[in-house]
């Protein structure tokens, strides 16, 4: 995967931009623009998927629910992906919860139109399969990372993944939300964020994170970030 497009707009986001011009022109009437405000729920576990959503400037979090009632992030998605991947496997109900993490815009297509278009191993279907493989690998690597690496490394890896998918160096994220995403207590995130700030990698004020030094942030992260990035580079 080439560098993420930081100027993505409707049908110019990275995933859909891989389509041939003829295929894009054919599919475009099926899509409609959509605002994606923070905390908007796009999919619910066990509920029918109404739309396949292609983020352009928004970032989404894919969550699983624990038996105790807590939720934990297992993957993030930006303009390189599509929300509603279960439809790719002819499943009409979502196996995960997907919420908007960073507000933005995107495009959406009705689930019935989406499933009709991917029948018969179409161009779009093949592109989505490659993306799905990378997304599955990200879930697996992130799970291993969360189980083995210290929180400072995990937070750095996660912020790098968010930074890859946003269109600016500053984005809104609270400590509470980062704690939820990483499955740790708020105090742990506060300490890790302060460590990254002292390293000169980030600045953090009133629920807003700013990437100050990308190279410093990469140095603070574990090797899992590079592994995950290579997965997407290869699609």
Q: Do 38 and 107 fall into the same domain? A: yes
Q: Confirm whether 31 is domain-assigned.
A: yes
- From residue 7, how far is each of 90, 132, 166, 233 by CA, in Å? 32, 23, 9, 19
Look over the chain and give the mean of its residue pLDDT values, rounded to a whole number.
88
Task: Look at residue 122 and tell me whether its pLDDT is greater than 90.
Answer: no
> In the listed set 144, 175, 204, which residue is the last one of a domain according to the structure?
144
| 184 phi and psi angles, rounded to 5 deg | -130, 175
The structure tokens listed for 87 are 């439809």
10 has a pLDDT exceeding 60: no
Better pLDDT: 161 or 69: 161
Q: For 207-224, what is the mean pLDDT?
A: 95
Please check the confidence at residue 104 and state whether its pLDDT lies above 70. yes
Residues 59 and 101: beta-carbon distance below 8 Å: yes
How confident is residue 186, by pLDDT bands cut at 50, 70 and 90? confident
CA distance 88 to 133: 12
Q: According to the per-residue pLDDT averaged within each range, which of 1-5, 30-34, 62-66 is highest?
A: 30-34
Phi, psi of 60 (to 5 degrees): -115, 155
For residues 193 and 101, state if they share a domain: no
Phi/psi of residue 69, nearest 5 degrees: 105, -10
Quote the percentage of the chain above a pLDDT of 90: 62
**What range defines the domain where residue 180 resides?**
149-233
On whether the CB atoms of residues 10 and 107 are closer than 8 A, the answer is yes
Residues 21-49 pLDDT 10s: 898 888 989 999 999 999 999 999 999 99
- What's the token pair of residue 170? 């500053």
Q: Quick one: pLDDT at residue 13?
A: 59
What is the pTM for the complete model shown? 0.87
pLDDT at 185 over 70: yes
159 and 132 both lie in a single domain: no
């Amino acid at each position: 995967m080439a560098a993420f497009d930081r100027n993505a707009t409707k049908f110019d986001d990275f995933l859909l931009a891989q389509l041939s011009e003829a295929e894009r022109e054919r599919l475009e009437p099926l899509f409609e623009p959509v605002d994606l405000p923070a905390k908007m729920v796009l999919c619910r576990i066990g509920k029918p998927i109404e739309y396949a959503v292609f983020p352009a400037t928004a970032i989404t979090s894919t969550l699983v629910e624990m038996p105790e009632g807590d939720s934990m992030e297992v993957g993030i998605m930006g303009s390189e992906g599509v929300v509603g991947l279960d439809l790719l496997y002819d499943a009409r109900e979502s196996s995960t919860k997907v919420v908007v993490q960073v507000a933005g815009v995107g495009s959406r297509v009705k689930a019935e139109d989406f499933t009709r278009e991917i029948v018969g191993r179409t161009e779009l279907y093949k592109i989505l399969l490659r993306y799905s493989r990378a997304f599955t690998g990200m879930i697996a690597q992130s799970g291993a990372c969360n189980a083995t690496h210290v929180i400072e490394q995990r937070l750095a890896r996660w912020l790098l993944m968010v930074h890859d998918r946003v269109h600016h160096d500053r984005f809104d994220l609270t400590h509470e939300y980062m704690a939820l995403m990483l499955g740790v207590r708020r105090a742990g995130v506060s300490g890790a964020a302060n460590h990254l700030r002292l390293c000169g990698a980030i600045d953090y004020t009133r629920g807003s994170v700013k990437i100050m030094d990308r190279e410093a942030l990469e140095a603070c992260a574990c090797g899992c970030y590079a592994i995950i990035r290579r997965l997407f580079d290869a699609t």
